[in-house]
């Protein structure tokens, strides 16, 4: 990820309008800011969230609240709790997530 031509700025995430995204179960709400090629998001998953797809996009993801369960296509499984993060490259390892208790995430991709 190259971060060019992005001036210093602050963001009040509560002022960014949420957009609901599809899910197999539960709901995902994204608050998104775009800076050139860099997308920055605050994402909230409701309890019972189940992703409706395998994701191949690279991310740096930080769990702020709740618990996120992530499964990789090879069968490995990981659980993030507040203060934990993961990173994965584009097209490196397909992954999908669930959140039985709900979660709030900060994601850069």
Domains belonging to the chain, first-starting first, are: 37-108 (2.60.120.10)
The pLDDT of residue 3 is 82
Residues 23-62: tens digit of each pLDDT: 999 999 999 999 989 999 999 999 999 999 999 999 999 9
- Of residues 94, 106, 108, 19, the one with CA closest to residue 66: 106
The predicted model scores a pTM of: 0.93
């Amino acid at each position: 990820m190259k971060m060019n031509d992005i001036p210093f700025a602050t963001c009040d995430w509560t002022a960014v309008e949420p957009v609901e995204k599809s899910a197999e179960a539960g709901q995902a709400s994204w608050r998104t800011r775009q800076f050139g090629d860099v997308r920055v998001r605050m994402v909230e998953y409701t309890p019972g969230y189940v992703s409706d797809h395998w994701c191949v996009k690279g991310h740096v993801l930080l769990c702020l609240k709740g618990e996120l369960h992530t499964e990789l296509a090879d069968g490995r499984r990981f659980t993030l709790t507040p203060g934990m993060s993961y990173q994965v490259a584009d097209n490196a390892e397909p992954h999908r997530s669930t959140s039985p208790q709900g979660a709030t995430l900060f994601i850069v991709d």
